[in-house]
Amino acid sequence: MPHTDTVLGAPAERLEGRQKVTGAARYAAEHPQPGRAHAWPVPAAVVRGRVTEVDSSAARALPGVLAVLTPGDAPRVAEPEDATLAVLQDPRVPHRGWCVALVVAETLETARAAAHLVRVRYDSEPYDIELSADHPRAYEPEEANAGLPGRVEHGDPEGAFAAAATRVDVAYRVPPLHNHPMEPHATTARWDDDRLTVYTSSQGGTTARAVLAQMFELPEDKVTVVSEHVGGGFGSKGTPRPDLILAAMAALRTARPVTLAYPRRQLPTTVGHRAPTLHRLRLGADPDGRLTALVHEVTTQTSRVKEFVEQAAVPARVMYATPNLRTLHRVVALDVPSPSWMRAPGESPGMYALESAMDELAEALGMDPVRLRIRNEPEHEPGTGMPFSSRHLVQCLREGARRFGWEDRDPRPGTRREGPWLLGTGVAAATYPASAVPATATARALPDGTFEVRINATDIGTGARTVLAQIAADTLATTLDRVRIEIGHSDLPPAWLAGGSTGTASWGWAVHDACADLAARLAAEEGPLPPDGLEAHADTAGRADAEVPYARHAFGAHFAEVAVDTVTGETRVRRLLGVFAAGHILNSRTARSQFTGAMIMGLGMALTEGSTLDPAFGDFPECDLASYHVPANADVPAVEAHWIDEDDTHLNPMGSKGVGEIGIVGTAAAIGNAVHHATGVRCRELPLTPDRIL
Ligand code: MOS
């Protein structure tokens, strides 16, 4: 058997790349179904209240309209665990944009036209959509997201802060942010008697199947979920969204296959957003720059539908040594669309605030901001006291400073000028948890010398399929072209979703174990393989989720150079350079793409992304890509990602940490710090639009 020891870590190209660029890859809305109809949702036009009447007569009179589902007559489903999925079950309107009717028609165009003919009457109620740090209904939840404690505190943070030689007491604000994957949320659903098949754009089909089975009261083996190709998610497809339920309802009602591809303008109210966060940071330091107190208090919002607490104070429990620490969350339920997961939930807004405040502290101390961070490097994880499984933040900072040319920096703001431009540089650190969840996989050796690996993993554009094939090839000591990998189908061995930067670690662990077992059995096998080959199965339950006495996180450092136009206030990023320590990098091409893609998303967060909640309408006016500005090519001239290869034996058999999210953590702070260095202006509210800079 040909052996290659270079397959893991190699810059293997995406296995499905050709299919994608030639249009052969099928996304959820594209699976051909004979007799397929299309659905278009009708969003609520009031902020809070009840639907009193849905008059669909004009819509139904339109030729080609098959049905109009309303809260009064839509199929009843079992109550979901996630209340955002309880669509068309009752007349209540918990926020503007909530689905109040669904039109099904022969064509997409007819469905859309008919949706505008549906007349909905409401009883409107007073509403409250305004987040403030002193909101009277704000409360401190026991837990923030991901089961993390709402508050972690030790020592005497108030007293230590009051007594500190140097103090920074600042407030930062991050606006609502939206995931906006290129492929909107979409589902094609088909019933064959009591069997349901869906093609859905999801980060995890295993969850989608469980939710459908529960809500439509079917055994799981009567539900098939296909998510073969997914055009991005960034967290917004981590849990099922209303398209999954509505498409299945519409297919049930019309006895036709139905596709519901969410119109982009309805995504912000329907698929979650990064909740706005208000931060208060208090940093106290001794004259040497050692933190004596660190207080990070976050106020955020959730909806009336469910509690979602953006865990933005959490990274302050990981980053810096301090004897006196307080991190806490407050949340208020407003009449707003439900927030949800968005790339690096918690860490991304939290590290914007913390790393900006660290820059302010460095300035107050007259100390270099790289040196300040190194000075506060902890021996143990501050929040838990646990040792780190590996932590190379200092190396990332040093390597980044070297590559970026930080040494020659004049720390005084506003000293570099180029015509109308003021130039500046900034630095910020990054961190993201490294974890894994249980998964199952099979590996089969075939008599022709090839292998088949099966796991219900999802590739949302990251290269998951490819890296799993690399892990298999590496473990089987074969070449990539001899491995056939199947993912994205619920007939495959179950696995958890692509989220929390856990995908490769979790799925790869199961793939590794199945392949290792198969390799051992092949070595023991005498004679030719049976015609259907030899198969091994792995289940990592009890191992991937085992408690370990280590704090496991990836770390990184961002360096940014900006030019700020003194006439217009426009900020241009000239250079972004990130250095990451994320365990072993398993595919240098796709990992680099994850790092740089996330850094670019962080650049958008810094400069252009963000939405408002219109007080008159209770909705996001910035609901499409014309009004919600994500970076374009011209905005990202030089983005570099580098890494320090780590040997961490406390992770998984591959020694990898996730790379999907850390790139967006701290990026906005590095850019904001560079803007301050360029101009002397400290903006504490994102995005850094010209009106805020001038
Ligand atoms: Mo990511 S926000 O954990 O899908």
Q: Tens digit of pLDDT for each residue in 464-518? A: 999 999 999 999 999 999 999 999 999 999 999 999 999 999 999 999 999 999 9
With a CB cutoff of 8 Å and minimum separation 6, the contacts of 384 are: 317, 551
Q: What's the pLDDT score for residue 4?
A: 44
Angle between helices 503-524 and 464-476 (to 10 degrees): 30
Query: According to the model, what pLDDT value does residue 9 have?
Result: 95
Predicted local confidence at residue 6, as pLDDT: 59
* Ligand 1 geometric centre to CA of 411 (Å): 36
Cβ neighbours of residue 205 under 8 Å, at least 6 residues apart? Answer: 225, 226, 227, 456, 458, 488, 489, 490
Sheet holding 223-226, edge to edge: 65-69, 99-105, 37-43, 258-261, 186-192, 195-200, 223-226
pLDDT at 299: 98
Name the DSSP class of 12: P
Q: Which atom of ligand 1 is nearest to the CA of 502?
A: 3
User: 264-307: per-residue pLDDT in tens?
Assistant: 999 999 999 999 999 999 999 999 999 999 999 999 999 999 99
The answer to whether the CB of 499 is under 6 A from ligand 1 is yes
Query: Measured between alpha carbons, how far is 452 from 359 in angstroms, rounded to an integer?
Result: 51
Whether 238 is in the pocket of ligand 1, judged by its Cβ within 6 Å, is yes
Q: Indicate which atom in ligand 1 lies nearest the CA of residue 660.
A: 1
The residue-averaged pLDDT of 385-413 equals 97
As a whole number of angstroms, the distance between CA 178 and CA 611 comes to 8
Instruction: Report the residue among 343, 594, 601, 659 best suited for mutation to probe ligand 1: largest number of ligand atoms under 8 A from its CB.
Output: 343
Q: What is the 499 CA–ligand 1 centroid distance (Å)?
A: 4
Closest residue CA from atom 3 of ligand 1: 500
H helix intervals, 255-380 = 267-270, 347-365, 369-375
Cα 667 to ligand 1 centre (Å): 17
The owner of tokens 């810096």 is 320
Nearest residue to 449 via CA among 478, 409, 474:
478
pTM over 0.90: yes
Query: How far apart (Å, rounded) are the C-alpha atoms in residues 551 and 400?
Result: 24
Distance CA 74, CA 63 (A): 21
End-to-end CA distance of the chain: 66
Residue 284's pLDDT is: 98
pLDDT number for residue 527: 87
**233 Cα–ligand 1 center, Å:** 8
DSSP state of 254: H
Asked if the bond preceding 126 is cis, omega within 30° of 0, the reply is: no
Q: What is the mean pLDDT of residues 111-122?
A: 98
Specify the DSSP element, H or E, that contains 292.
Answer: strand 291-302
Nearest to 611 by CA among 307, 345, 357, 265: 265
Say how many Å lie between the CA of residue 341 and the centre of ligand 1.
6
Sign of CA dihedral 397, 402, 406, 407: positive
Strands 258-261 and 37-43: parallel
* CB-CB contact of 435 with 552 (8 Å): yes
- Other CB atoms closer than 10 Å to residue 684's CB: what's the count? 17
Tell me how long the chain is: 694
Ligand 1 mean position to 273 CA, how many Å? Answer: 12
Q: Residue 361 corresponds to which tokens in the numbers above?
A: 């502290």
Structure-token pair, residue 26? 């099928």
Q: What is the pLDDT of residues 417-433, one digit of tens each?
A: 999 999 999 999 999 99
* Cβ of 341 less than 6 Å from ligand 1: yes
β-pair partners for 259 = 38, 188
What is the residue-averaged pLDDT of the chain?
A: 97
Ligand 1 atom with the shortest distance to the CA of 342: 2
Tell me if 342 CB under 6 Å of ligand 1.
Answer: yes
ipTM of the complex: 0.97
Mean pLDDT of 186-200: 98
Residue 340 C-alpha to ligand 1 middle, in angstroms? 9
* Phi then psi dihedrals of residue 261, to 5 deg: -105, 115
Residue of 661, 662, 665 to test ligand 1 pocket, by largest number of atoms within 8 Å of CB: 661
Mutate which of 237, 341, 657 for ligand 1? The one with the most ligand atoms within 8 Å of its CB, which is: 341
Q: Is 204 in the pocket of ligand 1 (CB under 6 A)?
A: no
pLDDT level of residue 526 (50, 70, 90 thresholds): confident
Is 274 a pocket residue for ligand 1 (Cβ < 6 Å)?
A: no
Q: State which CATH number among 3.40.190.10, 3.40.309.10, 3.30.365.10, 3.20.20.70 fits the domain covering 389-435+549-694.
A: 3.30.365.10
Instruction: Map tokens 């109550």 to a residue.
Output: 79
**What residue has token string 């909740």?**
275
The CA-based angle 672-676-679, given to 5 degrees, is 130
Which atom in ligand 1 lies closest to the alpha carbon of residue 233?
Answer: 4
**Ligand 1 pocket residue status of 500, Cβ below 6 Å:** yes
* Amino acid found at 135: H
Residue 181 Cβ contacting ligand 1 at under 6 Å: no
Task: Give pLDDT, residue 2.
Answer: 40
**In this predicted structure, what is the pLDDT of residue 583?**
98
pLDDT at 691: 94
Å from CA of 449 to ligand 1 middle: 37
Cβ-based neighbour number of residue 441 at 10 Å: 32
Distance 125 CA to ligand 1 centre (A): 34
The helix/strand/coil state of 524 is helix
In this prediction, residue 180 has a pLDDT band, given cuts at 50, 70 and 90, of very high
Q: What token pair was written down for 595?
A: 């790092």
| pLDDT score of 86 more than 80 | yes
Query: How distant, in Å, are the alpha carbons of 265, 268, 270, 304 from that of 620?
Result: 10, 7, 11, 17
Question: What is the number of the ligand 1 atom nearest to the C-alpha of 500?
Answer: 3
Summarize the chain as % helix, strand, coil (round to 5): 30, 25, 45
Q: Is the pLDDT of residue 623 over 90?
A: yes
Ligand 1 atom closest to Cα of residue 661: 1
Tell the residue nearest (CA) to atom 4 of ligand 1.
235
Q: What is the pLDDT of residues 23-33, one digit of tens each?
A: 999 999 999 99
Catalytic residue among 360, 418, 661, 685: 661
pLDDT band for position 677 (50/70/90)?
very high
The CA-CA-CA angle for residues 308, 313, 315, to 5°, reads 115
Domain ranges of the chain: 389-435+549-694, 437-539
Atom of ligand 1 nearest to the CA of 497: 4
**439 alpha carbon to ligand 1 midpoint, in Å?**
18
Q: Indicate which atom in ligand 1 lies nearest the CA of residue 501.
A: 3
DSSP label at residue 314: G
pLDDT tens readout for residues 15-55: 999 999 999 999 999 999 999 999 999 999 999 999 999 99
Say if 389-435+549-694 and 437-539 have the same CATH topology.
yes
- Residue 647: how many other CB atoms lie within 10 Å: 8
At the top level of CATH, the class of 437-539 is: alpha beta
Compute, in angstroms, the gap from residue 266 CA to the centroid of ligand 1.
20
203 CA closest ligand 1 atom index: 4
Instruction: Reply yes or no on whether 547 is catalytic.
Output: no
The secondary structure of 592-626 as a DSSP string is HHHHHHHHHHHHHHHHT------TTTSS-S--STT
